[in-house]
Amino acid sequence: MPASPAAPGPRPADRGEDERSPGRYGEAVFEPDSPGEAERVDYGALTYDPISRARLLALGVSPGWRCLDAGAGTGGIARWLAHDIGVAEVVAVDRDIRFLIDAADDTLRPLAADITDPSFDPGRFDLVHARFLLMHLPDHEEVLSRLAALVAPGGRLLVSDAIDLTTEPSPESPYRAAMLAMWQALRETIGTDITWVPGYPWRLRVIGLAEVGAEVYVPPLTRGRPITSFWLETWARLREAMLGTGLVDTGTLDEAARSLSSGSFAGLSPGMISAWGRRV
Ligand SMILES: C[S@@+](CC[C@H](N)C(=O)[O-])C[C@H]1O[C@@H](n2cnc3c(N)ncnc32)[C@H](O)[C@@H]1O
């Protein structure tokens, strides 16, 4: 009698792991020393900074606040907090702070650290801000709770990530195919997951924040806009991984890039959800 197969253990996905063991942001893809990476991040910042700034003002950010910007990138929000608002302090944390060093002064303090490190504890802040960070972290739920714990009583947490309300319903096209391949490629290379982000308001309530609110901004996508350059640059960096999904071929990717660069393209980009709450 053949030996009976061992009882199957839980599938990796059931254990909360990805079946493909993804790499990390900045290592497997979006390496900070790759040419043009700062510009790519800035294209995203140019699109979303006005939305983030307006929200931060509505949340009452003002001189005297101590602020933490997690995954600060090229530091657009940290610089604005330090130099335009005149907050008391901005700790700008990133695993790689090369784009933040030149901004360092008495108010803006770049800090090289991994936000997923359980021992990360830089103090308590009136504002904790994280934009386009948690979606790239497989342990986002745990990190969200720890970010909330860094907010001083009465302080604010503001988190923003990508939300894609427009690709699925858009007409069949090389653009649509490329965008769907991009999300899958991101998931397979670094574990990026945006499926959970619409639950932000509920998650902030569950971790005990009060005065929870949320909003979504969906930028128009036409030639010459920073968001259009952002997607073109992102696709270029992910090209091999996008081809590896099997959802697109080189002809489709080339046509998608051509159409997005053309004056006749008009659409709506994937957008940004922002959610906030106050620590009681
Ligand atoms: C998509 S960029 C967003 C940058 C900036 N927040 C913005 O919105 O323009 C993500 C940033 O998070 C940083 N990052 C990724 N994983 C991190 C981690 N585990 N700890 C700290 N920073 C991390 C990356 O180095 C990168 O600068």
Contacts of 16 (CB under 8 A, 6+ apart): none
Helix (H, G, I), strand (E, B) or coil at 32: coil
* 24 domain-assigned: no
Per-residue model confidence as pLDDT tens for the chain (280 residues) = 333 333 333 333 333 444 445 799 998 899 999 999 999 999 999 999 999 999 999 999 999 999 999 999 999 999 999 999 999 999 999 999 999 999 999 999 999 999 999 999 999 999 999 999 999 999 999 999 999 999 999 999 999 999 999 999 999 999 999 999 999 999 999 999 999 999 999 999 999 999 999 999 999 999 999 999 999 999 999 999 999 999 999 999 999 999 999 999 999 999 999 999 999 9
Q: Is the CB of 241 under 6 A from ligand 1?
A: no
* 17 domain-assigned: no
* 235 domain-assigned: yes
Extract the tokens encoding 34: 């790759």
Mutate to test the pocket of ligand 1, among 25, 34, 114, 117 (most ligand atoms within 8 A of CB): 25
What are the DSSP E strand ranges found in the chain? Answer: 66-70, 89-94, 108-112, 125-131, 151-163, 209-217, 220-221, 267-268, 271-279
Exposed / middle / buried, residue 81 (Cβ in 10 Å: 0-12, 13-18, 19+):
buried
Going from the Cα of 114 to the center of ligand 1, the distance in angstroms, rounded, reads 10
- Give the HSE-up count for residue 229: Cα atoms under 13 Å, Cβ half-sphere: 15
Residues 43, 246: Cα–Cα separation, whole Å? 28
Q: Is the CB of 114 under 6 A from ligand 1?
A: yes
* 5 domain-assigned: no
The CATH code of the domain that includes 212 is: 3.40.50.150
Give the dihedral of Cα atoms 206, 202, 215, 192; nearest 10 deg. Answer: 90
Extract the tokens encoding 182: 């991009």
* 23 domain-assigned: no
* 20 domain-assigned: no
CA distances from 74 to 149, 168, 187 (A): 25, 31, 23
Give the pairing of strands 89-94 and 66-70: parallel
Residues 182, 78: Cα–Cα separation, whole Å? 28
The per-residue pLDDT for 181 is 98
Q: Is the CB of 110 under 6 A from ligand 1?
A: no
How many C-beta atoms lie closer than 10 Å to residue 12's C-beta? 12
Contact between 275 and 59 under an 8 Å Cβ cutoff? The reply is no
> Of all protein residues, whose CA lies closest to atom 4 belonging to ligand 1?
73
Q: Is the CB of 95 under 6 A from ligand 1?
A: yes
Going from the Cα of 71 to the center of ligand 1, the distance in angstroms, rounded, reads 3
Range(s) of the domain holding residue 115: 33-279
Q: How far is CA 218 from the centre of its chain?
A: 15
Q: Is the CB of 94 under 6 A from ligand 1?
A: yes
The per-residue pLDDT for 235 is 98
Going from the Cα of 73 to the center of ligand 1, the distance in angstroms, rounded, reads 5
Q: Is the CB of 193 under 6 A from ligand 1?
A: no
Shortest-distance atom of ligand 1 to CA 117: 19
Going from the Cα of 222 to the center of ligand 1, the distance in angstroms, rounded, reads 26
Shortest-distance atom of ligand 1 to CA 44: 9
Going from the Cα of 94 to the center of ligand 1, the distance in angstroms, rounded, reads 6
Contact between 247 and 180 under an 8 Å Cβ cutoff? The reply is yes
Shortest-distance atom of ligand 1 to CA 160: 8
Provide the whole-model pTM.
0.92
> Of all protein residues, whose CA lies closest to atom 15 belonging to ligand 1?
25
Shortest-distance atom of ligand 1 to CA 114: 20
Going from the Cα of 9 to the center of ligand 1, the distance in angstroms, rounded, reads 34
Exposed / middle / buried, residue 229 (Cβ in 10 Å: 0-12, 13-18, 19+):
buried
* 106 domain-assigned: yes
Q: Which amino acid is at 240?
A: E
Q: How far is CA 156 from the centre of its chain?
A: 19
* 145 domain-assigned: yes
The per-residue pLDDT for 17 is 43
Q: Is the CB of 134 under 6 A from ligand 1?
A: no
The per-residue pLDDT for 22 is 77
Domain count of the fold of the chain: 1
Query: What does the H/E/C string look like for 78-134?
Result: HHHHHHHHCCCEEEEEECCCCCCHHHCCCCEEEEECCCCCCCCCCCCEEEEEEECCH
